[in-house]
Structure 1
């Protein structure tokens, strides 16, 4: 049997029937009056197809449907236990064990993938890095800009217009005239 709680002994008052009755009445009142007013999870339950009835966390989902997933800079980054907790070391070992187990499951799943599935998975991994959303948004913008730039380089340059041809001819004639005058100057300087 797993021992729960902080390990502190209950006082005589906490062990009394009156204390338990007060607690029972308080939770019954909360369940009847206050709980229905609390926001509920917006996820659909697989078993019934109805909305989940668990209490929602700040992001609108319960802890079973993604409410405990970190947001912002904590997005999909392991959340370590509070070091001041009484059983922080046990929680840390449990977290590390769960992470190892998940890594083994992931490795097994990756080994079973076809090359096309693996390529798609690697693309998803590159575009969904854990951490702050700003870094992901910047990388997404850079990928979009790089793709647009590569597409512009792949296109052949447009054919020159009549005006451009006329200007190029004029530039060539002026460069020829400049060369001719420069060669005449060189002859007269040293003669």
Structure 2
């Protein structure tokens, strides 16, 4: 796994944020979630990743955020996450009471942010694909992070991918599909 995996996932997230528009009630690629809800979740994910990298632990999540502060806030938080990843990375992080190597936290974060970036982008008619190299690397670790058993309710069952493109393969493994062009 390359060291810049999290950076590339954040770059993909940052690339889709400007095109989300102002209607945050639009459905996303994350079934049952609109843009507002998913932005709030991405904000929570970024906060948890940064908490782990700067404080050495990720606590159990509290009550979900009722609303998101918008794409500029997410952009700022994502940039701060990259700074923490570059400068403050501990060797291990305690996640929900269990020690985890920091690179594993970075890999989980990369999967979370890249796929939810696509989910956000799917609110548009033709979302940009997850970059091939990023998707290939995430697909290589996805079975370890999201096994076929015990996926529900967080992930749908895998589906048949539309194409052999790495991004489509990754999305299909996670129960998502690109809209037909």
Bin of the TM-score, shorter chain as denominator length? under 0.3
Greater RCO structure (CA 8 Å; 6+ sep): 2
Kindly indicate which of the two structures has a greater share of residues assigned to helix.
1
> TM-score normalized by structure 1?
0.20
Q: TM-score, normalised by structure 2?
A: 0.21
Between Structure 1 and Structure 2, which shows a larger proportion of strand residues? 2
Task: Look at both structures and tell me which one has the larger radius of gyration over its CA atoms.
Answer: 1
